[in-house]
Structure 1
Amino acid sequence: MSPQMRMITRASRLLSGVAARSEAFVIIVDPLKRFGAARTMASKVLNVDNLNPNVLKLEYAVRGPLVIRAAEIEKELQKGAQKPFKKVIWANIGDAQAMGQKPITFIRQVLACVSHPELIEKSDYPEDVKHRAQEILNGMGGKSCGAYTQSHGIELIRRRVAEYIERRDGHKANWQDIVLSGGASNAIKNVLQLFCKDVDGKPSGVMIPIPQYPLYSASLAEYGLQQCGYYLNEETNWGLDISELERSRDEYMKNVAVRAIVIINPGNPTGQVLTRENIESIIKFAHKHKLFIFADEVYQDNVYAEGSKFFSFKKVLTEMGAPYNTEVELASFMTVSKGYMGECGLRGGWMELVNMDPVVQANLYKAISAMLCPTTLGQTAVDCVARPPQPGEPSYELFIKEKTGVLDSLNKRAKMIADTFNNMEGFSCNTVQGAMYAFPQFQLPARAIEAAKAAGQAPDVYYVFKLLEETGICVVPGSGFGQRPGTYHFRTTILPQPALLQEMLDIFQNFHKKFTAEYSQGEKLSL
């Protein structure tokens, strides 16, 4: 095996080792670029010269190297390497249970009974758990979670999702417009694919927020769609200004057929929660320009700041009345991976379609059918979220205690992390109103920026690599999400449990003081 191929094999092994610690779509490495491998595989039927160019484009927008290095460091520590820290602190991912959050008992008991039905008869689980598991099994072929389900999900669970939406919004939801999916990501990609067609000689484009969740930039590249970024306003706690939407659309419409807009609420990576008035203005903007709305609402349970409240786009759209409630097309997305559940690995989620053309919806369902069905255990978790234990049922008190405990703790951690960064010299951090992340801005000394350029790295990338190598803390540079030119950020989760989070923040403060002192000779660049 050539040295180049050995390096590629090594990278592949590292990737498999960090898969559980990474958001699946972002850990991608271009071996030709990263390891300098020569193009020696031209004799292969599929080679880099005839590979789908969209796949190659997708690789350029990732943040894989930092996470790969963190995994290398973790292995080095396990082998006894001497470093100024004892462990890697993974603050780069929105994976609650990987960071120590305990599963919700009711969900896990129902999952246990569905996967091993003998427990329905033989366990001492509460009766509502057993009844729920049997209901779900009755909707599965052969009453087994090992059987395929309907492609769009078990009808009973789709109906329960519709009931959940009705309770949440106070308005009717049609269960036939509900599609269960392998997490929200699969559903989002299924709808994005519908836009893969040029219009009036222009490529189709989708407006996405900057900063954004890299699922969108990666998926747009994969499908050959144009990314049309609009900036969130950091000065107004990452608010969404309609004037900025107009500016962005006008700019891109010169060369792109802008057909849809993505809204992430509560925000990732920015943690803002949109006001009802802001949502109304966005809907009016979408109606004015005939844009399809992608409402990414996976953090709807994660709202912390006083005065903040989650409003679904479906609710606001319905209450705005004609012509909006009959003409604006919308797909909203939810998952069991976030919220108080944190069941990322189960891959359970759903979408609701509103005002979609019936022929288009039929074709979407046809395409989804080709993927057979979402995971049955993921669907089971969706059922538990859509119809949680009710007052008077045996599991209710423990369920409420656990749910409240998780959300209260996240609330405290959200405040802890923003307060800490705001007390650090050269840092500013908006209130974490919701979701699971902070996206602080920081200043860098001129010499640090010069050192980054000499190393061939963006300044924020240089900073977070230094942070990783010297402290073991793994965060994600802001350039992985997009940021206004001349500003520097990183995304960190609020998910480390309180003691570990406090330890991380203490280490972070000491690192930043040391870093600033080391590079302080010379004038700081103003942002």
Structure 2
Amino acid sequence: MFCFDLIQPNHMELHVWHVSSQGEQKPFQRVIDVSCGDPHRAGMPPLSFARQVLAVCLYPELLKESSFPVDVRQRAEKLLGACNGGSVGSYSASSCGIPQIQKSVAEFITRRDGGARYLMLVLHLLSSGQGPTQTGLLTPLPCPHTLPMLLDEVGVKLVPYQLLEERGWAIDLEELHRALKAARRHCEPRAIYISNPGNPTGHVQDLKTIEEVIRFAASERLVLLVEEVYQDSVFGQDKKFLSYKKVLFEMGASFSESVEMVSFHSISAGTMGECGLRGGYMEVINMDLLVKNFLTSMQGPSSPPVLPQLALEIMVNPPSPGDASYEVFTQKVETLAQNAQRACEFLNAVPGMSCQPAMGGVFLYPRLHLPAEIIQEAQRSGLRADVLYCKKLLEEEGVCLGPGSENGHDDENYHIRLCISAPTAVLEDVLKRLRSFHLWIQDRHH
């Protein structure tokens, strides 16, 4: 099931525009925005294979152009053959997308396991009630920074469960039980949200953890909503991505035939990073046929855009070893791994900062140890201290990071969100500016 959506700018993104548009002299030449998972905004070039294939699909005369690698022209010819009339300008065959691309997604899931607006559709389906009968969603803290706003929009109550920072942001089963018991006093929890690899923590769950979460969801009759958009961006030593569906189906019929689950994947995240194309898919497991049909009908009768579907096919069918574009296509994960290690070591060497290493994804989520004066200044301004910190960093150094409060954190453990999917030179510039600013903050208030 294909879904395509819009996304609204957050507070820091609007502040970037304000700072960039002011005419006054600044101590920096340009603003670098690494607050969200948009690699192109940070200066990371797009994957040449994906863009070349899309270019040929948009202008088929390029099929005759020998300067394009042969695997690019072959893939473009195949995708054009799947489009009505051999053109990306034609309607899709159905509201669920081009059949051949649906087949490619299904084959990708089969290879992997032996599957935004799509999330909004599911949340709308779950949403009901008010007060003690309002739908609740068990949500990790920290969570994806767009999720709290989305839950507010659809009328679902955020039920927080804390990830364990001292254990690399791992899930704790006792904490899940505590959060669920506390939530049932004021709402009706109906689902649990999982982010694996973690957004923004970079934690990659192991087999034992996934099995525990599945058993927990089964015993408490909770729907599993599993975001797996960074599954192709795992780089931690001895770490491997395991899909929840694969683990579920290996746990025996008592689980594989009863636990309701929806998994999500997107071309906006991971190695593709095509945030502007807005495409993805969801896989619905063990839900009643009427519910599946209703989810499909919620997309409406319109034809989904063709270009994001073609990008989706490229994501689930990347170049294979031996293909002309393979080496270039796989370089991005290597860059992420190098950036993650370098940035984590750098941040842990800065006084007043600490950072858990990321095993996957595109973010680091360092903790800030802020002087009391900064916290007091933020209180006087009616701001969270992490928000004030990020605003000052943007104004003084031209670097935009995401405050941890956007990720649901509302305690006194302040964090910032840093996207590492950026060119190495850009990331080095960001780290140096961040260190300079943080030391200035520390010195100013001591």
Query: Counterpart in 1 of 2:199?
Result: 268
The superposition leaves residues 115-173 of structure 1 with CA deviations (integer Å, 9 ceiling, x where unpaired) of: 12232346653444334323323332333212221111111111111111111121xxx
Query: Counterpart in 2 of 1:466?
Result: 392
Match of 1:489 among 412, 415, 428: 415
Q: Give matches, 1:278-357, under 5 Å.
A: 278-357=209-288
Looking at structure 1, the residues matched to 68 and 173 of structure 2 have their Cα atoms a distance apart, in angstroms, of 52
Q: Could you tell me which runs of 5 or more consecutive residues in structure 1 were left unpaired when the two chains were aligned.
A: 1-22, 28-62, 171-177, 179-184, 521-527
Greater Cα offset, 258-267 or 484-493:
484-493
Contact 1:328 1:355 (C-alpha < 8 Å) held by counterparts = yes
Q: Give matches, 1:70-469, under 5 Å.
A: 70-76=16-22, 79=23, 81-121=24-64, 124-149=67-92, 150-170=94-114, 185-198=116-129, 202-370=133-301, 372-391=302-321, 396-397=323-324, 399-469=325-395
Q: Which amino acid aligns with 2:423?
A: Q
Contact 1:152 1:369 (C-alpha < 8 Å) held by counterparts = no
Looking at structure 1, the residues matched to 311 and 191 of structure 2 have their Cα atoms a distance apart, in angstroms, of 30
Q: Residue 412 of structure 1: CA displacement?
A: 0.6
Q: 1:320 to 1:501 in 2, by over 3 A?
A: same
Looking at structure 2, the residues matched to 72 and 218 of structure 1 have their Cα atoms a distance apart, in angstroms, of 22
SS in 2 for 1:413: helix
Q: Which amino acid aligns with 1:156?
A: Q
Q: Which amino acid aligns with 2:56?
A: C
Query: Counterpart in 2 of 1:54?
Result: none
Contact 2:120 2:154 (C-alpha < 8 Å) held by counterparts = no
Contact 1:157 1:379 (C-alpha < 8 Å) held by counterparts = yes
Looking at structure 2, the residues matched to 468 and 108 of structure 1 have their Cα atoms a distance apart, in angstroms, of 32
Q: Residue 452 of structure 1: CA displacement?
A: 1.6
Contact 1:421 1:429 (C-alpha < 8 Å) held by counterparts = yes
Question: Percent same amino acid at aligned positions?
Answer: 37
Looking at structure 2, the residues matched to 118 and 404 of structure 1 have their Cα atoms a distance apart, in angstroms, of 28
SS in 2 for 1:334: strand
Q: 1:142 to 1:288 in 2, by over 3 A?
A: same
Greater Cα offset, 235-244 or 85-94:
85-94
Contact 1:199 1:257 (C-alpha < 8 Å) held by counterparts = no
Looking at structure 2, the residues matched to 135 and 199 of structure 1 have their Cα atoms a distance apart, in angstroms, of 50
The superposition leaves residues 391-419 of structure 1 with CA deviations (integer Å, 9 ceiling, x where unpaired) of: 55xxx13x221122111111110011111
Looking at structure 1, the residues matched to 13 and 50 of structure 2 have their Cα atoms a distance apart, in angstroms, of 31
Considering only aligned residues, what root-mean-square deviation do their CA atoms show, in Å?
A: 2.0
Moved runs in structure 1, 4+ residues, more than 6 A? Answer: none
Q: Residue 481 of structure 1: CA displacement?
A: 1.0
The superposition leaves residues 28-85 of structure 1 with CA deviations (integer Å, 9 ceiling, x where unpaired) of: xxxxxxxxxxxxxxxxxxxxxxxxxxxxxxxxxxx41x32222122223xx4x32222
1:503 aligns with 2:429: yes
Q: Residue 24 of structure 1: CA displacement?
A: 5.8
SS in 2 for 1:320: coil
Q: 1:345 to 1:453 in 2, by over 3 A?
A: same
The superposition leaves residues 211-260 of structure 1 with CA deviations (integer Å, 9 ceiling, x where unpaired) of: 11133222221111111111111111101001111111111112211111
**Which structure has the larger Rg?**
1
Q: Which amino acid aligns with 1:108?
A: R
> How many aligned residue pairs are there?
441
SS in 1 for 2:417: strand
Q: Residue 484 of structure 1: CA displacement?
A: 5.6
The superposition leaves residues 362-381 of structure 1 with CA deviations (integer Å, 9 ceiling, x where unpaired) of: 111111234x2332111001
Q: Give TM-score, length-normalised by structure 2.
A: 0.94
Contact 2:232 2:271 (C-alpha < 8 Å) held by counterparts = yes
Q: Which amino acid aligns with 2:213?
A: I
Q: Give TM-score, length-normalised by structure 1.
A: 0.80
The superposition leaves residues 92-115 of structure 1 with CA deviations (integer Å, 9 ceiling, x where unpaired) of: 121112222222232222212221
Q: 1:494 to 1:25 in 2, by over 3 A?
A: same
